[in-house]
Amino acid sequence: MAAPRPLETAQAIKARIWQELERASRDRHHEWRTPVLASIDLAQQPSARTVVLREVNLQEKCFEIYSDRRSPKIAELKQHPGALLHFWSKRLQWQLRVAVKVHVLESGPDVESRWDRLKLTAAARDYLSPHPPGSLMEKPAEPSAEKIAEPSAEKMAGPLLAKGMEPALHKEVDHNFCLVRAGFVEMDWLELNVAGHRRARFSVDEWQWLLP
């Protein structure tokens, strides 16, 4: 006989999902730390990219992502705030497709408080370049010794201080950092299991089992 499933009720599954999401925002090794954010671009075409899940607010049911306010996705998200966060965990055998409504914050105390923390890390340089992300480069990108020493996914996922990068360097300069706050709308949860896959769609106050 197949082993009993540890989580049987909708309430228990929901609680575990939020617990794992919150954990992912604090644990850079969690598989849900780097979801894919899918949106609709300015030409009404699908567009997707990996991002780092920086914060999960369990009370307000919202997710926070950091970005450069000049990046194409920011213009896209302002025009089409409806977006989707996609998560897959091999450990949990769970896929989440989270429909969100995005609000981009470019100034104000929430932006400044995050920037105050971020500017002390190597990731700060991503928001200090004079050129917008996606700009054409005049010369081919050649890795500097510093970049070789620092894997890019790590740089984006956590507060590493690169060798020779003084925190003071970032203190008073203008930054292009912005905060993407994604409010939970509903979620499609899929569990792969030899005993039978399970799937449900839920919002804050509804739960609907679906055929996988």
Ligand X SMILES: Cc1cc2nc3c(=O)[nH]c(=O)nc-3n(C[C@H](O)[C@H](O)[C@H](O)COP(=O)(O)O)c2cc1C
The reply on whether position 66 binds ligand X by CB under 6 A is: yes
Q: Which is nearer to ligand X, 47 or 201 (CB)?
A: 47
Residue 56 and residue 24 in contact, taking contact as beta carbons nearer than 8 Å: yes
Give min distance, CB of 118 to ligand X, in A: 11
Give min distance, CB of 6 to ligand X, in A: 30
Determine the Cα–Cα distance for residues 84 and 97; give it in Å rounded to an integer: 7
The reply on whether position 52 binds ligand X by CB under 6 A is: yes
Give min distance, CB of 45 to ligand X, in A: 12
Helices (H), 6-71: 10-26
Residue 63 and residue 100 in contact, taking contact as beta carbons nearer than 8 Å: yes
Per DSSP bridges, beta strands 55-57 and 62-68 are antiparallel
Determine the Cα–Cα distance for residues 190 and 132; give it in Å rounded to an integer: 37
Q: Which is nearer to ligand X, 63 or 66 (CB)?
A: 66
Give min distance, CB of 15 to ligand X, in A: 26
Which one of residues 7, 10, 40, 71 is an interface residue with ligand X (CB under 6 A)? 71
The reply on whether position 115 binds ligand X by CB under 6 A is: no
Determine the Cα–Cα distance for residues 56 and 22; give it in Å rounded to an integer: 5
Determine the Cα–Cα distance for residues 22 and 16; give it in Å rounded to an integer: 10
Determine the Cα–Cα distance for residues 187 and 136; give it in Å rounded to an integer: 37
The reply on whether position 51 binds ligand X by CB under 6 A is: yes
Q: Which is nearer to ligand X, 85 or 200 (CB)?
A: 85
Residue 183 and residue 132 in contact, taking contact as beta carbons nearer than 8 Å: no
Helices (H), 33-128: 72-79, 109-118
Q: Of 152-181, which residues contact ligand X (CB under 6 A)?
A: 153, 156
Interface characters, 20-49, with ligand X (x: CB under 6 A): --------------x------------x-x
Residue 211 and residue 199 in contact, taking contact as beta carbons nearer than 8 Å: yes
Q: Which is nearer to ligand X, 114 or 198 (CB)?
A: 114
The reply on whether position 102 binds ligand X by CB under 6 A is: no
Stretch that binds ligand X, among 65-73, 97-105, 108-116, 187-195 (CB under 6 A): 65-73
Q: Residue numbers of the site for ligand X (CB under 6 A)? A: 34, 47, 49-52, 65-67, 71-73, 133-134, 153, 156
